[in-house]
Amino acid sequence: MDHTEIKVNDMPEWLLKNENYIPSADKDTFVNKSILSVFKVLSRIKKQDSPGKTAFQMNVPLQVLGTLVLILLVSLTRSFVFVIIVNVWLLAVLSMTDTTHMIVILKLSMGITFFTAIIMLPAFILGNTYSSIMITTKVFATITVMGLLSHSTKWSALTQALKRFYLPDIFIFILDITIKYIYMLGEFSLNMFYALKLRSVGKNRSKYSSMAGIAGTVFLQSKEMAEDMYHAMECRGFTGEYHLNDKSKFKWRDYLYIGIIAVFFTLFIYFGRV
């Protein structure tokens, strides 16, 4: 008798079965969309904190002040010609920026302008044509100038500019910490989404309910990070005050920008009298 045949017959039946497990197909649309959304926010914040060189780099406090003045002039003017001149100048500046930033700013500006045009459509149909067009063009100018400011300066430079305007330190502190916490907690939640995707073998019908677990874990992590940050600031003697160490001087771009804002202010007065 063959010893091999005896050994095979003595084995249990479950050992002789094929154990190749093929999990059933499942859709990862929810997890993939969540990962993509978080990743977009994180990449946007990271790019915002380290923008590339642009054609109009200048003193950030001056640029913030000029942006606020330009928005104020556009909001107060009743001249359609003045708004068109501002829009033409903004588009000219936008054409000198990086292609990626230009596309992002134009998408945001055109999207909000289109939404405003839809809201103003009933007033346009009822005969209030001038006001509808004025509001729509003003919205485009406002969003574009804010987009240019946002994509050409760092977050740290913006908070430093706010200190130049003597804003309360608690406001600057909340703004600065909020941006940093969004990035850090975003990375933490992104890793949790990756873990959820890797551990979901076969059909996982509890993916939506796992969002509650992710949200709860992120909340607990944020609480621990807040306590650690408080103790670290307490040990380092942080009193909530921000001090400026920047001694930057005006360059020719800054004086040119001041001249452009002065020209817009002159045009605002001139077209206001016409």
Give the 3-state DSSP-derived string for 39-97, with helices as H, strands as E and coil as C: HHHHHHHHHHHCCCCCCCCCCHHHHHHHHHHHHHHHHHCCCHHHHHHHHHHHHHHHHCC
Q: What per-residue confidence (pLDDT) applies to 10?
A: 67
- Whether the per-residue pLDDT at 56 is higher than 70: the answer is no
In the numeric block, the tokens 């996982």 are attached to 204
The answer to whether 128 touches 109, Cβ cutoff 8 Å, is: no
Average pLDDT score over residue span 36-49: 70
pLDDT class of 246 with cuts at 50, 70, 90: low
CA 79 to chain centre: 33
Encoded amino acid at 110, one letter: M
Cβ burial, residue 220 (10 Å; 0-12/13-18/19+): exposed
- pLDDT higher than 80, residue 76: yes
Q: Look at residues 194, 201, 198 and name the one whose alpha carbon lies nearest to residue 24.
A: 201
Q: Which two tokens stand for residue 47?
A: 């790019």
Q: How far apart are CA 50 and CA 153, in angstroms?
A: 8
Residues 157-211 have pLDDT tens digits of: 777 777 777 778 788 888 878 878 888 888 888 888 787 777 766 666 666 667 7
- Return the pLDDT at 258: 87
Structural contact between residues 77 and 271, judged by C-beta atoms closer than 8 angstroms: yes
Res 148: pLDDT: 86
Long-range contacts of 17-21 (CB under 8 A, 24+ apart): none
The two structure tokens encoding residue 46? 């990271």
Question: In the structure encoding, which two tokens stand for residue 106, read together?
Answer: 């134009």
Q: What is the pLDDT of residues 114-155, one digit of tens each?
A: 998 898 888 888 888 888 888 999 999 999 998 888 777 777
Residues constituting the chain: 274
- Are residues 39 and 190 in contact, defined by beta-carbon separation less than 8 angstroms? yes
